Structure 1
Amino acid sequence: MSNPTRYRKPAVVPDDLRLLTGPTAGVVHLPVHLDWSGRASYDLDRPGRIVDLYRAVINEAASPADLHTYLDAATLKRLWSSIWLPTDTRRAWEGRFPELTELSQIASA
């Protein structure tokens, strides 16, 4: 029997949320390794698109540098409970940053 997580890419998590100093406004164009959908431009002033950008970057980051470049710590915390992430990815982030677990618990209460 095969293991469905056997080939899953491990989650990339920053060492410190304070290192997330990415843009918070305007249009961001993600490189192909982060978004190959053909819709790699994200208007951060549109709520739905900023959530999409955060989801894409968190799920596809190849290194912490991707996270540092495109994510902002305060914005991440504000959006955390509304970003759909695979369970393993969410656990990896919340395991490193308990404050994100608290935000998830508050949102589900």
Structure 2
Amino acid sequence: MCGQGSRRVLVSTADGARADTEALALYREKFRRRLPESLDELHGPTQGVGDLPLHMAWSGMASYDMSKSRQRMGLYRTVLHEGLRDDLPRHLNRNMLLHLWPVLRTLVGRTVCVVWVDAFPQLSSRTRSAA
């Protein structure tokens, strides 16, 4: 299951519902276009300090200590939401993503989670706790 949160109830006209559906499809496509071809492309750091460029860290923290669980999760959440196609291999690591996914999937938005699980089914089988 991806994400946590309430579902939005549409109380609008047919045109409004259609607009909401189209907006969601565009939002999903934005994240789909950023995906790597394979998780094997993800060779980002697993230790040290991860520094994110301004286009990803525009709203806050830019340096993350990979030895600290909360900071590591924060970096991955930020990259999954804000990273562009070329950023993902540079800042994410395949093994770390697989390890963090059970918790990370509850921290990223539902749309991001669904797009990643649809593209990489091995993520959906990750159910153990992450550190």
TM-score normalised to structure 1 length: 0.86
User: Hey, what's the Cα distance between the residues in 1 that align with 2:67 and 2:58?
Assistant: 22
Q: Out of 3-12 and 87-96, give the one that drifted further.
A: 3-12
CA displacement at 1:26 relative to structure 2 = 0.6
Aligned partner of residue 38 in structure 1, secondary structure: coil
Percent of counterpart pairs with the same letter? 32
Aligned: 1:75 with 2:96: yes
Q: Structure 1 regions of 5+ residues with no counterpart?
A: none
Q: Deviations over 1:39-62 (max 9, x none)?
A: 111000101100000000011112
User: Hey, what's the Cα distance between the residues in 2 that align with 1:51 and 1:15?
Assistant: 23
Aligned: 1:21 with 2:38: no
Residue type of the alignment partner of 1:76: L
Give RMSD over aligned pairs: 1.9
Aligned: 1:91 with 2:114: yes
Structure 2 vs 1, CA of residues 38 and 99 (structure 1 numbering), >3 Å: closer, same or farther? same
User: Hey, what's the Cα distance between the residues in 1 that align with 2:119 and 2:52?
Assistant: 25
User: Hey, what's the Cα distance between the residues in 1 that align with 2:71 and 2:99?
Assistant: 14
Q: Out of 9-18 and 77-86, give the one that drifted further.
A: 9-18
Residue type of the alignment partner of 1:26: G
Larger radius of gyration: 2
- Aligned pairs (5 A) from 1:49-68: 49-63=71-85, 65-68=86-89
User: Hey, what's the Cα distance between the residues in 1 that align with 2:65 and 2:50?
Assistant: 6
The 4+ residue runs of structure 1 with deviation greater than 4 A are none
Aligned partner of residue 124 in structure 2, secondary structure: helix
Aligned partner of residue 92 in structure 1, secondary structure: helix
User: Hey, what's the Cα distance between the residues in 1 that align with 2:70 and 2:21?
Assistant: 30
